[in-house]
């Protein structure tokens, strides 16, 4: 796999516990779609319904997909002022050096905003789990025997 930017061979690397293919020369990195989702999950889980990247203002670049050689398109990531490049054939995303860190920072900020809401939801989920557990139902039955 070659770097879309400088054509150096990409090397496997670990970024934020996720395996990626990084460029030793320009420090950019190639993430397969799944890897970007894992990166998000490291700090914040939106749940399946909310997941997926909102692509707006997509513009073609001269960079090439390391997998299919199609030209990568630049787009804005979700609602933020963060740009990335992606392969229109769904092969993955190209992040410039430290753009992945910016993704994590943005995610962390959202996490802080929604933390209280999530804590409440966690408690509710735990309550439901207890209600549905066999032992709890059995205890209830015992009461009515
Ligand atoms: Zn490079
Ligand atoms: Zn591709």
Please say whether the beta carbons of 108 and 44 come within 8 A.
yes
pTM for the model stands at 0.60
- In angstroms, the CA 30 to CA 19 distance is 10
Mean pLDDT throughout 131-143?
55
Per-residue pLDDT reduced to its tens digit, 73-87: 887 765 566 678 888
Q: How far is the CA of 133 from the centre of ligand 2 (A)?
A: 46
Q: How far is the CA of 68 from the centre of ligand 1 (A)?
A: 17
Per the model's pLDDT, the better-predicted residue between 47 and 5 turns out to be 5
Tokens for 15? 């970024």
**Residues with Cβ–ion distance below 5 A, ligand 2:** 65, 67-68, 70, 87, 89, 91
Per-residue pLDDT reduced to its tens digit, 45-57: 444 444 445 555 6
Percent of the chain with pLDDT over 70: 56
């Amino acid at each position: 796999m070659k770097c879309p930017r400088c054509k150096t061979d990409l090397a496997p690397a670990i970024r934020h516990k996720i395996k990626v293919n990084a460029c030793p020369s320009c420090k950019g990195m190639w993430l397969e779609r799944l890897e970007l989702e894992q990166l998000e999950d490291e700090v914040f889980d939106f749940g399946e319904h909310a997941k997926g990247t909102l692509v707006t203002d997509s513009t073609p670049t001269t960079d090439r997909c390391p997998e299919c050689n199609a030209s990568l398109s630049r787009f804005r990531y979700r609602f933020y002022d963060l740009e990335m490049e992606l392969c229109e054939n769904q092969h993955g995303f190209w992040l410039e050096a430290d753009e992945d860190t910016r993704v994590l920072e943005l995610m962390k900020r959202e996490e802080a905003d929604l933390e209280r809401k999530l804590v409440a939801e966690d408690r509710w989920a735990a309550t439901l789990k207890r209600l549905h557990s066999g032992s709890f139902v059995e205890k209830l039955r015992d009461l009515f025997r």
